[in-house]
């Protein structure tokens, strides 16, 4: 077989098949590999021209079909399977070849694999791919980091297949080591937060304003035409209007869907690592916790019978909608601020050399958290590349100041009426704490010194102090 294919991809599930077809659509010949003969056959059938797209179940045949240096991307589940695929490739590839992990691998695993493969002369890098199955086919946001030389060889392909924002490709080399996988992890953490907030506002509108699914569809559609323009608000508006095929096409498929939300772990990883770094991301933390609470369906149902809940005092629909739009915008800003703060700190801790403005730029199209807001975020970090937090950017103070009041009103209203708004509440509490000159943590310092002699610092003089609190 001639060494004729420009790009190889292992893992021909929906994401992999769509990505490889995207590569072929953009003028690069591509060869796929999967252990499942049906997936191989499906790709070959959809690809049509075997000179453009081909596939096999045999690893040796797959590797031999690729031009050198071989550019091989994996789109397989995170974990041991990634190591297994790498080991299966090693007997067949040569020094200078390139392996790319396009899955959601934990960043320390990527560092380990890069070091292992570098010893064998193989370029390796992680590249987060966001946009779901449709994004993989039509143009995702891609977040590569690791071997700069390896990325340079793949750069023309990635720039061709990625989403475009005003003509700019939504992909950029982000930094050394596991920078790409880390950025994708935090992207997913932000995604958890935005999804939680979007669902809370939906719940509030239904319970507090008796909004029908059709009215919710119209409202979210209107919001998506304004400053809340985003992929998640857009698809949410469409979800509200989806009819239930199992109920004679009645409007309201959403009402028949279980309220137990699943997760794959990237949101949890974001929260865990933020705690390791000492960076507060409470809007993301609570989004992870709420998925865990949602899984306790039987316990929740029983607990609901044990306690009285206030009768919801209805609010005027137009007033509620206005407050909800402002509160959602405020909490979106706060959630992005937390995630980007984590990225900036991780960059220092792990030596990633991240440019936050570049990250915001490649998130403007293609990815799940794409939003009009990211154009403003890009501008904020371009104006100050040492910006510690989005909330202190002059470009955002007015946006926040004009919407935080609505968040306060809705959190108070929801608390009085027994409607859970944990994402919005955490966003508001984070904002109030972050913008407070004085917090009550002086008492915690005193308590720690009292029971553990942990010492404390004073406001009026330098040094470390300890007090014998009991006479």
**Residues taking part in catalysis:** 184, 191
φ/ψ of residue 442, rounded to 5: -60, -35
The 3-state DSSP composition of the chain as helix, strand, coil percent (nearest 5) reads 55, 10, 35
- Using DSSP, how many helices (H) and how many strands (E) does the chain show? 20, 11
Instruction: For residue 448, say whether it is annotated as part of any ligand binding site.
Output: yes
Look at residues 125, 260, 104 and name the one whose alpha carbon lies nearest to residue 191.
104
Q: Which DSSP letter does residue 363 get? A: T
Instruction: For residue 192, say whether it is annotated as part of any ligand binding site.
Output: yes
Strands (E) across 242-395 are located at 243-244, 250-251
Instruction: For residue 131, say whether it is annotated as part of any ligand binding site.
Output: yes
Three-state DSSP class for 335? helix
Instruction: For residue 132, say whether it is annotated as part of any ligand binding site.
Output: yes
Instruction: For residue 289, say whether it is annotated as part of any ligand binding site.
Output: no
* Assigned token pair, 394: 């002059």
* Nearest-angstrom CA–CA distance, 452 and 447: 8
Q: Is the dihedral of CA 127, 132, 133, 138 positive or negative?
A: negative
Instruction: For residue 364, say whether it is annotated as part of any ligand binding site.
Output: no
Q: Is the dihedral of CA 96, 97, 101, 102 positive or negative?
A: positive
Three-state DSSP class for 366? coil
Instruction: For residue 11, say whether it is annotated as part of any ligand binding site.
Output: no
Instruction: For residue 450, say whether it is annotated as part of any ligand binding site.
Output: no
Instruction: For residue 302, say whether it is annotated as part of any ligand binding site.
Output: no
Instruction: For residue 70, say whether it is annotated as part of any ligand binding site.
Output: no
Asked if 99 and 123 touch (Cβ cutoff 8 Å), the reply is yes
Instruction: For residue 370, say whether it is annotated as part of any ligand binding site.
Output: no
Residues shown for the chain: 471
Binding residues for substrate: 104, 130-132, 187-188, 192, 264, 291, 448, 454
Binding residues: 104, 130-132, 187-188, 192, 264, 291, 448, 454
């Amino acid at each position: 077989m001639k060494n004729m294919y420009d790009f190889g991809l292992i893992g021909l599930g929906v994401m992999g098949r769509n990505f490889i077809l995207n590569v072929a659509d953009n003028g690069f010949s591509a060869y796929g590999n999967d252990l499942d003969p049906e997936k191989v056959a499906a790709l070959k059938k959809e690809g049509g021209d075997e000179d453009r797209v081909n596939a096999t179940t045999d690893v040796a045949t797959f590797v031999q079909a690729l031009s050198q240096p071989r550019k091989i991307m994996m789109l397989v589940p995170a974990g041991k399977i990634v190591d297994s695929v790498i080991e299966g490739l090693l007997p067949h590839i040569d020094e200078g070849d390139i392996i790319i992990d396009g899955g959601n691998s934990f960043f320390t695993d990527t560092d380990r694999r890069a070091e292992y493969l570098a010893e064998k002369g193989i370029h390796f890098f992680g590249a987060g791919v966001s946009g779901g199955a449709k994004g993989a086919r039509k143009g995702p946001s891609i977040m590569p980091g690791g071997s700069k030389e390896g990325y340079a060889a793949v750069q023309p392909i990635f720039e061709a297949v990625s989403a475009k924002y005003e003509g700019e490709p939504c992909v950029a080399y982000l930094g050394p080591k596991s920078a790409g996988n880390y950025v994708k992890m935090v992207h997913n953490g932000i995604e958890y937060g935005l999804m939680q907030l979007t669902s809370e506002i939906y719940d509030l509108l239904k319970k507090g304003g008796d909004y029908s699914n059709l009215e919710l569809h119209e409202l979210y559609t209107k919001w998506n035409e304004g400053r809340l323009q985003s992929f998640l608000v857009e698809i949410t508006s469409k979800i509200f209007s989806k009819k239930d095929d199992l109920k004679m096409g009645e409007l309201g498929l959403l009402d028949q869907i279980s309220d137990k939300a699943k997760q794959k772990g990237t949101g949890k990883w974001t929260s865990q690592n933020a705690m390791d770094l000492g960076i507060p991301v409470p809007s993301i933390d609570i989004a992870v916790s709420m998925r865990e609470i949602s899984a306790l369906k039987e316990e929740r149902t029983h607990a609901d019978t044990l306690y009285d809940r206030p009768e919801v005092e209805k609010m005027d629909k137009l007033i509620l909608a206005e407050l909800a739009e402002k509160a959602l915008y405020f909490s979106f800003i706060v959630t992005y601020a937390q995630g980007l703060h984590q990225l900036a700190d991780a960059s220092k801790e792990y030596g990633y050399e991240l440019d936050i403005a570049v990250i915001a730029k490649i998130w403007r199209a293609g990815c799940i958290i794409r939003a009009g807001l990211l154009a403003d975020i890009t501008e904020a970090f371009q104006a100050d590349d040492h910006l510690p937090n989005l909330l202190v950017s002059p470009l955002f103070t007015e946006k926040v100041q004009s919407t935080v009041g609505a968040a306060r009103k809705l959190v108070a209203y929801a608390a009085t009426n027994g409607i859970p708004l944990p994402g919005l509440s955490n966003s508001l509490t984070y904002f109030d704490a972050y913008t407070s000159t004085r917090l009550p943590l002086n008492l915690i310092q005193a308590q720690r010194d009292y029971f553990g002699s942990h010492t404390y610092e004073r406001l009026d003089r330098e040094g470390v102090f300890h007090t014998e609190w009991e006479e």
